[in-house]
Copies of this chain bind each other. A is one copy, B any other.
Amino acid sequence: MILDKSLIEQHNEKQSALHQKKLDTLTAVLSDEGHSVNAILDKIAAFQVAIPSWALGTGGTRFGRFAGGGEPRSLEEKIEDVGLLHAINQSSGAISLHIPWDIPQNAKAIQQLAASFELKFDAVNSNTFQDQQNQDLSYKYGSLSHTDKGVRDQAIAHNIEVIKHGVDLGSKALTIWLSDGTDFPGQQNFRRAFQRTLDSFQQIYAALPDEWKVFVEYKPYEPHFYSTVVADWGSSLLFCQKLGEKALGLVDLGHHLPNTNIEQIVSRFLMEGKLGGFHFNDSKYGDDDLTVGSIKPYQLFLIFNELVEGMQSAEVNNPELSWMIDASHNIKDPLEDLLQSVEAIKMAYAQALIIDRKALEKAQAENDVTQAQEILQNAYRTDVRPLLAQARLQAGAALHPVSFYRESNIREELVKQRGAKAFATGL
C-alpha cells in the first residue's frame, strides 16, 4: 500500500489554523527564552528512528498471542509498513532487520524497494536465542557462550552471515542481543562463560568490515532467570573495552533492574566514547516492551537530557548514535503503537533541546538544586507538540499522525490486501 500524499495535505489543511496559533505562542515564548525555533525545528526534522522489522506484527507473551489483521507477511510488506509510517511522520526513515526472519532473497530488489520509500537499513540483528528448523546444534544451553565449541562456532558463523546480509543492504552495524545465561545457581561458571563469549565476540569482531560497528546489548534476565552473560552496562563496557573501538554498548530501556538510574548509565557510556545506540520502549515491571513514553515519560526526557548534553559537549568524543525502537505490540495496532512511540521519542528530544543549558550549568556550579529543577522542568512542562507538528508539516508529513492513520483507514486497507489472519514472521 502506497500512501496518497494528497490525503496528508487534506488532513493538515483542516488542522492548520489551530496548529498555527499554538505554534505562534510557543515560538514567542521560546524566542523570549533565547532559543532559535528554526534551529530546533531543523534538529527535530533530522531526527530519525529506525523501526525493527519484528515490531510490525502483533507481539505476545509466553501465555499467548492475540493476532491482529493485515500483518505483513513478507520482508517486502514489512518495508511497505515502515514506508507508510515514514510517509505519515517523516521520522521513521530506517528499518532494522532481523536474521533469519528477514533474509532477503534478492538484496538489490529489497534495497530498491526500501529506497522507493526513502528508507535506509539500520543495524542488522542476529538471533541465537531460538533454534531454527534444520539447525544442526541447539542453543538450549547457550550460543556464543556455550561450553561446546561446535555450538559456539555455529553461532559465530550465523553472526558473520548476518553481517554479510547487512553489507548487501547497506547496513553499517550489527546488533548482538545475546540471550545466553543460566536459570539456576551453579549451572555455569560465570568467568568461563564470559571468556568463551569474549572469544566468540572477537571472531565476529574480526569479520566486521571497515566502518562497521558492533553493538553489545545488555539485559539482566529473561529468557534466563538467574544470570545472563551480558547482564548490565558494566559487563557490556568490559566486553567493548576488550574488543576495540568498533564495539559499543547498546541501551534497551527495558533491560534494567528496578529503580536503575538509566540516564547516568547513558552518561557513563558517552563519557567513555562507548555508546552505540538505543532500543526504545517503556516498561513498569521488566522488559515489558510497551509503547515508548507510555509509562515513564519523565525518565525518557532525562535520558534525552544526557544525550543532548553529551552530543553538544566538547568533552565527549562518541561516535554517532543509532536510534531504534524495540517494542512488542500485544494489544495495540502495531502501526499506531509505533506512531505513538516515535512521537514520544521526539517529544523528549525536543524538550531536551529547549533546556536552558547555560543556566543549568550555573545552577549546578552553585549547587542551586531548586533552580536546577526549575530549569529542567520548565523544559519538560512546555508543550512542545506544536514544534513536532511544525517539523512534520514542513517535511510533508501529517500534523497528527495517529488521527491521520485512522482517518485514512490504513489498517482496514491492509486487512483488505493481506487478510484478517495475516501473520507476521518473527516472535
Q: Give Cα distance in the complex from A367 to B333, angstroms.
A: 12
CA distance A347 to B330 in the complex (A): 32
Q: Which residues of B contact A369 (CB under 8 A)?
A: 141, 182-184, 187, 331-332
Q: Give 1 or 0 for each of A301-325: 1 = CB within 8 Å of chain B CB.
A: 0100110011001011000000000
Q: Does A413 contact B (CB under 8 A)?
A: no
> Bound complex: CA of A131 vs CA of B375, how far in Å?
29
CA A60 – CA B297 in complex, angstroms?
A: 29
Known pairs A234-B233, A332-B370, A385-B381; A190 contacts B306 (CB<8 A)? yes
Q: Mark A280-298, 1 if CB is under 8 A from B, else 0.
A: 0001111011110111111
Q: Is A232 an interface residue (CB 8 A)?
A: yes
Say yes or no for A383: interface residue by CB 8 A criterion.
yes
Say whether B63 contacts A427, CB under 8 Å: yes
Chain B residues with CB under 8 A of A90: none
Q: List 8 A-B contacts (CB under 8 A).
A: A66-B139, A194-B267, A194-B268, A225-B283, A257-B260, A258-B259, A331-B369, A332-B370
Contact, CB under 8 Å: B226 / A370: no
Contacting residue for A60 out of B62, B141, B194, B195, CB 8 A: B62
Report whether B364 and A261 are in contact in the complex, using a CB–CB cutoff of 8 Å. Answer: no
Minimum distance in angstroms from A71 CB to a CB of chain B? 14
Interface residues of A in 202-238 (CB under 8 A from B): 220-223, 225-227, 231-235, 237-238
- Taking the complex as formed, is A159 at the interface, i.e. its CB lies under 8 A from any CB of chain B? no
Bound Cα distance A164, B420 (Å): 35
A271 CB–B CB distance under 8 Å: yes
**Neighbour of A285 across the interface among B189, B259, B296, CB < 8 A:** B259
Closest residue on chain B to residue A366 by CB atoms: B147
Does A374 lie at the interface of the complex (its beta carbon under 8 Å from any beta carbon of B)? yes
A179 an interface residue at 8 Å Cβ cutoff?
Answer: yes
4 shortest interchain CB distances as A-B pairs: A234-B234, A66-B140, A225-B288, A190-B267
- A22, A130, A225, A365 — which one has the most chain B CB atoms within 10 A of its CB? A225
CA distance A257 to B225 in the complex (A): 16
Q: What's the minimum C-beta distance from A237 to chain B, rounded to whole angstroms?
A: 6
Q: Is A402 an interface residue (CB 8 A)?
A: yes
Flag if A185 contacts B302 (CB, 8 Å): yes
